[in-house]
Structure 1
Amino acid sequence: MELGAYERAKADRIAPAAGLSVVDVVALVPRLGPQQSAAAQPESTDDGGQAAAAVPAPGPVGALAPNLRRPEEQPAADDSGAASGKQPTAADERAQEVKAEAEAVTGVASPAVEEAAEQHDQEQTEPVPAPAAVSVAEHGRELPSIPAGERGDAWCVPTPNLASKRPNFTQQPRQMAFLDTDTGVLVHRDQVVRLDLGTASVSEILTAVYATVPDSVERIYITAGDPWHRDADRYPFLRDAVAAWLNAPVPGWQVESSRGKDRLAGHLVHPRNPVGRWQRGDQHIEIRSVGEWFDPADADPAVVRDAFVLLWKQLRHHWPDVTLMGSPSQTGRDLWSRTIPAKTGSKWSEGYPVMSEEIRGLLHATAGQGRTELIVPPRVPAKLPQLVEYDRTFAYAKHTWASGVGAPRRITAAAFAAMSAKEQTNALFAPSHWQIRVTVPDGWNHVGILPAPAAGDRAWYYPAEPGQTFTTWAGGAEVNLALRNPITPWRIEILDGLLWESGTPLRDWSAKLKDAWATLQALAANHGDQRQRTAAHLASRAVRSILLYGIGGFAQRPRITTRSVPAGHEHEIPAGAQIIGSDGETITWQRSAGFSRDPYAHPEWAAGVWSGARAALLSTKMREDNTFVGALHLPHDSIVAFRTDAIYTTHDATWPYRGQPGDYLKKGHLPGPVTGPRTEEELLSLQTLGRAHLDEEQEAGQ
């Protein structure tokens, strides 16, 4: 609190030092969060009211987006008990009928959309009126824009001679072993032994393991024990402890520098799931955490091995040449590459073009991932009557129906304004990414819909106060939802945008993974052996990770190089590097190496899936039940938090659950009164209690 009084204090600088998120810091010290500029603050009046809100400073000229709902139709009452009390209209229904998964979360243009657009043309729909607006500071982070004119247009030209093509080789499998460093139990194939690991340093692990298994084992998965955290109490951050563990001397071994064409050399310093890579002559070894694939909970190494076997068998039904690679991200990318059209003459058989480095950088900076938001009083009561957690099952699999392919078409404000209503509507339903100026409508009394940039790297918040105005980038699914949400349309001005042709590059890959997931889910529910049920459940979680992290892999973040030098050799640290840890003996640094010429880099696909998932977190339709679900269909003061695919609310909704991707599963219930969480740590504590209580309720009801 005292630090908050320091004029130069900033949330994005304090958060890493305190081991908190930016949102946590702002919740504790509101002054460090977004502040309205003095010019934008409403003036007090003598009668206790407020003067008219100040008009924001002039900015780039935008083109007003159309109201996607027919003006003469008012939303019907919602049977969920939500304060919004409104449903999407018949016009919305017509725009969604052709494709089930095109519902405002995939951005698919369809004949139904064109029909609705033609009606808009004929009816000359009035635009959303401009309410008085209050400008909101950008939290100290300004998002990039596309340059004007030919320079910006050149960004839309894909990278020359770089495309995603189907591979003409088969991945070579690598033998793996599974090790619990708490118990010393090692499993390799059918062999189960107990090792003496000493303090579980890298040197002790490699010595003990290779005294038992052949040198052909190239991958050791740690199933429990987290040896890289053994000395965590000696360091201010987990990352420092992990770096020290990875970089400790390993007699006879050296850090892997290269392996043929494999660019994944050297260590990955991650606080929870690090990867260590070493070599001894021609022998190579990786030590990895099985937590990359799934949380093994209390499963022993033999059950974890069985989970990998079941995973491989199920994937083999769809990919006869499947090879499980080191991480789910690598595996997901490899499996996807084997679904690229190969038939000569078929569309995209020559490969999917990779966006320019400028567009990739723009998407990296402006397309966030999951929504993480903690809502505190006075927007919610200090004492909650109860806390219920709803989590979307295998959510990202629901948003892979269509994606943008080919070179993007730039849509400037002038170009958008020159479009007919039909063309504008089709553009707003298509795979797209928009730079927009947004105004929260007067009378709005619910959670925010669109992300705005917050202080800190890739941090976002969601303005919800009536009259607030801000400039941001957002995916087509979210812009679409803001214009036709079940309460009232938001005012959106198009400043710039990227529009892609609609294609299905992820559909086949996703369908195969969903099938494998469903089969393993059924096996986990029905197998007669408890250990095999556990293994099947873990394998189904691994399939989820393959899709989840496979999509994240398409985002292709800038390469980060991590290295260490002995203390006293600071002069060897390259310019532009950031020191991330020091234990008195070694100094660990990292540096961004920019974007590589990665033939499988498609951030436009990852951005589209993430945008669709965030939109569905607010409103989506369960077609089998003709029911709308999501946060906007709950009472406005019942939403406590969002966490990626989960909603935490005080309202016990009766949403149907069929176990399908995208369905909302009631995952926790904590009876009240409950003191509302003020930090992420408090939310996670309540999450744990709520899940345990719901398990007890369900067991008592059986």
Structure 2
Amino acid sequence: MDAQSYTAALADLRGLRDEIKKARATLARLEAQRDKQIGLLAIYDRAKAERIAPAAGLSLAEIVALVPALAPDGLAADVPETAPAVEEVPATPDQPGAGSNHPAAQAPGAVAPAMIGPVQEAAPAQATPADARPRHAPAQPPADAPAEQGAPRTLPSIPDGAAGQGWFTHTANLLSQRPNFTQQARSTVFLDTDTGVLVHRNQTHRLSLGAGTAAEILTAVFDTVPEGVERIYITAGDPWHRDAARYPYLRDAVAAWLNAPTPGWRTDTGRGRDRMAGHFVHARHPVGRYQRDNGDQHVEIRSVGEWFDVDSDNPATVRDAFVLLWQALRRHWPDAVVMGSPSQTGRDLWTRTIPQRGQYAEGYAVLSEELRGLLHATAGQGRTELILPPGVPDQLPQLVEYDRTFAYAKHTWKSPVGTPRRVTAATFAAWSQKEQMRALYGCGHWQVRVTVPDTWQHVGLLPAPAPGERAWHYPSTPGTTFTTWAGGPEIHTALSNPITPWKVEILDGILWEDGKPLDDWAKKLKETWTNLTAQAHFQGASQQSRAAHLASRAVRAILLYGIGSFAQRPRMVTGTTPRTQERDVPTDAEIIGFDDEQITWQKPTGFSRDPNAHPEWAAAIWSGARAALLTQRHRDDNTHAGALHTPPGSVIAFRTDALYLTQPEAWPYHHQPGDYLLKGHLAGPVSAPTTEEELLTLRDAGRAALAQSTGEA
């Protein structure tokens, strides 16, 4: 680019800026007009929010927020008052924390909460800045999702007395049991929608896909494979994004693509033992489920990106990867079938490791819905945090990426089993120090009040709720006190970290027996991963080597997403309603898109009676993985690795199982699950990233630079 074209491009950019300003002004004017119209409708004495919401394209909650008088009867009484979960100064006995079972808030004579860690002087009574994080911030939300605003969430607590004790049971007649049937394989093809190349078994075809709509894909595939196909993996092209420029968010574009007319086909209503009905709207990896109008054929359209990242790999290589995956799994599971997604496959394989004799031969009982809901609300997943200046230099000397190899497989050797018991603050305080430490080493989930030491100068150790439905941050400002829930591995790390112990007060807790329900499953997957990784290494630079590498990544996805499937989040159902029948939109649904023909909506369905719902297992593994990002011992090398073993100010970011640093570390790597692998190294000076997008750009540059320096490019 020369100076003239640079100047012209700047002029174009200014023009775009002005157009964006105009569009925003127009949008603001239309929204104000809409809100005014809603206010006028509310004057009508029989106006109902559930009728106005679909007409306005808003959710019921948004209508009520605009016009509180339209709230359904009793709604206001059902909304509890909440207080911030992060406090500016440590609470005194006269200021119990909101949302906790702090004994100071109980009857006279109740004991104080159990305190673990060094005794510290109370902070001064003046207001000090809370850890609102100009330095340590949660990573930015995806570009296709609206930003969350507002105060930090207040996490739920277990009710006092008999009401809370009633949570500590299992759901009646709901058990994870070994299946007594053989899973059926599905006829599968692999399609690149950019090139039209289709691979079916050992045959390769080239299709004409037109605009790449679901209808055109179905027509072309079934014309080419007349005997029928049950699963279509899209290996490249992402056809559901082709009209993305017309929609404000990718989810809207995906929903429109999935719900576009498909003559001769309709949305699948599900069948068989692994019954999955309806489309799954996901911004990047959606699932379209269709059936013939006569009901005699069913087919899924899925993204192969659910399994692994495809880097210009052709459909034949992807096909070979799935064949190698199936062959490798069959060495451990003679009846193994590769199902539609890694999570489905992982859960199915796990059920086939449930013991046929012994204590759990009858199966693993599912927790009460109340405890599952509590774990859903209080047990976060991977740590994702971007640390901003002045927590790191404005100009980084370098950017070094370490990734924990097959990380979650390191933390499956012990999991909670049996009927959980409640450990109140009073019970915990009555135990000896040995009993307390044994409990924290065990399988537990704890409600705690945490105080950051006055001398602390490193990253935060424990998650605290941040604004947003599932958002977390990690307070690190000295003197900050907050109330949260955390697993035993993280609590133990806070108390025994190599720098200085944190003050932790046990307010409440859930404690299980230690068991090994996932150990056999994880060992088999680790062996499968090791074998495929070795194949990829020794095959040389061939298509089979690449296929083996992709298959090894698929095994990682099976374990990773299989663990996630145990968490069993409350489900969201997506549907469409013709504009002429908008009163039929469910009253508790959120409008996520609409056009001249139909309204697209989604609504939560709560917890299903899933026999394999075990959020306690997922929570324990996630807690162990977050703790290992901070400190992890390598016994054979008699050394430690992790963020707390780096100088203060050298940690740039955390991303699930990866660390980004300003300097390299001499951490051992033996190709074992959990080891820190040097994944990228970008020489500086580098401007410190301030958004997730900037971090990912630097990450990719660092990986490319390392590959070039080691001759792997």
Q: TM-score, normalised by structure 2?
A: 0.81
Aligned partner (choices 113, 116, 124) of residue 63 of structure 1: 113
RMSD between superposed Cα atoms in Å:
2.2
Residues 162-218 of structure 1 deviation map (CA, whole Å, 9 limit, x = unaligned):
111111111011110000000000001011010111111111111110111134320
CA contact (8 A) 1:448 1:463 kept: yes
1:142 aligns with 2:157: no
Matches within 5 A, 1:480-495: 480-495=492-507
Residues 590-618 of structure 1 deviation map (CA, whole Å, 9 limit, x = unaligned):
11101011110000000000000000000
State the SS of the aligned residue for 2:170: coil
Please report how far the alpha carbon of residue 140 of structure 1 lies from its aligned counterpart in structure 2 after TM superposition: 3.0
**In the alignment, what sits opposite 2:478?**
466
Please report how far the alpha carbon of residue 53 of structure 1 lies from its aligned counterpart in structure 2 after TM superposition: 11
1:156 aligns with 2:168: yes
1:416 aligns with 2:407: no
**In the alignment, what sits opposite 1:233?**
245
Residues 1:618 and 1:131: Cα distance change in structure 2 (over 3 Å): farther
Matches within 5 A, 1:343-354: 343=357, 346-354=358-366
Residues 1:414 and 1:229: Cα distance change in structure 2 (over 3 Å): same
Cα separation, 2, equivalents of 1:698 and 1:374 = 28
**In the alignment, what sits opposite 2:529?**
517
Matches within 5 A, 1:48-447: 57-59=95-97, 60-61=102-103, 63-67=113-117, 127-132=118-123, 136=130, 139-280=151-292, 281-343=295-357, 346-447=358-459
**Larger displacement relative to structure 2 (209-218 or 385-394):** 209-218
Q: TM-score, normalised by structure 1?
A: 0.83
State the SS of the aligned residue for 2:546: helix
Aligned partner (choices 569, 580, 590) of residue 578 of structure 1: 590
Cα separation, 2, equivalents of 1:508 and 1:153 = 33
**In the alignment, what sits opposite 1:448?**
460
Cα separation, 2, equivalents of 1:137 and 1:585 = 48
Counterpart residue identity of residue 423, structure 1? E
1:691 aligns with 2:703: yes
CA contact (8 A) 2:131 2:480 kept: no
State the SS of the aligned residue for 1:569: helix
CA contact (8 A) 1:131 1:441 kept: no
The gaps in structure 2 that reach 5 residues or longer are 1-20, 25-82, 104-111, 133-150
Residues 364-410 of structure 1 deviation map (CA, whole Å, 9 limit, x = unaligned):
00000010111111111111111111111100000001000011110
State the SS of the aligned residue for 1:464: coil
CA contact (8 A) 2:407 2:657 kept: yes
**In the alignment, what sits opposite 1:25?**
none
Please report how far the alpha carbon of residue 137 of structure 1 lies from its aligned counterpart in structure 2 after TM superposition: 8.3
Matches within 5 A, 1:529-540: 530-540=542-552
Larger RCO (CA within 8 A; separation ≥ 6): 1
CA contact (8 A) 2:386 2:692 kept: yes
Cα separation, 2, equivalents of 1:169 and 1:128 = 59
State the SS of the aligned residue for 1:266: coil
Cα separation, 1, equivalents of 2:456 and 2:565 = 37
Please report how far the alpha carbon of residue 580 of structure 1 lies from its aligned counterpart in structure 2 after TM superposition: 1.4
Matches within 5 A, 1:25-36: none
Residues 657-677 of structure 1 deviation map (CA, whole Å, 9 limit, x = unaligned):
111100111111111111100
Please report how far the alpha carbon of residue 326 of structure 1 lies from its aligned counterpart in structure 2 after TM superposition: 0.5
CA contact (8 A) 1:66 1:425 kept: no
Aligned partner (choices 611, 624, 649) of residue 599 of structure 1: 611
Residues 1:304 and 1:163: Cα distance change in structure 2 (over 3 Å): same
Cα separation, 2, equivalents of 1:156 and 1:626 = 41
**In the alignment, what sits opposite 1:49?**
none
Cα separation, 2, equivalents of 1:549 and 1:486 = 32
Cα separation, 1, equivalents of 2:119 and 2:647 = 25
Cα separation, 1, equivalents of 2:188 and 2:121 = 62
Cα separation, 1, equivalents of 2:88 and 2:381 = 31
Cα separation, 1, equivalents of 2:175 and 2:479 = 45
State the SS of the aligned residue for 2:180: coil
Residues 1:442 and 1:53: Cα distance change in structure 2 (over 3 Å): farther
Cα separation, 2, equivalents of 1:391 and 1:408 = 34
Counterpart residue identity of residue 226, structure 1? D
Cα separation, 1, equivalents of 2:674 and 2:199 = 36
Please report how far the alpha carbon of residue 627 of structure 1 lies from its aligned counterpart in structure 2 after TM superposition: 1.2
Cα separation, 2, equivalents of 1:366 and 1:391 = 26
CA contact (8 A) 1:404 1:502 kept: yes
Residues 1:131 and 1:248: Cα distance change in structure 2 (over 3 Å): same
Cα separation, 2, equivalents of 1:435 and 1:412 = 10
Residues 475-534 of structure 1 deviation map (CA, whole Å, 9 limit, x = unaligned):
111011101111111101011100000000000000000000000000001014610000
Cα separation, 2, equivalents of 1:508 and 1:247 = 41
Cα separation, 2, equivalents of 1:353 and 1:128 = 41
**In the alignment, what sits opposite 1:641?**
653
Cα separation, 2, equivalents of 1:153 and 1:128 = 32
Cα separation, 2, equivalents of 1:211 and 1:673 = 56
State the SS of the aligned residue for 1:538: helix
CA contact (8 A) 2:88 2:481 kept: no
CA contact (8 A) 1:266 1:277 kept: yes
Cα separation, 2, equivalents of 1:522 and 1:65 = 49
Cα separation, 2, equivalents of 1:600 and 1:233 = 40
Residues 397-444 of structure 1 deviation map (CA, whole Å, 9 limit, x = unaligned):
000010000111100111111112121111010010000000001101
Counterpart residue identity of residue 96, structure 2? P
CA contact (8 A) 1:167 1:338 kept: yes
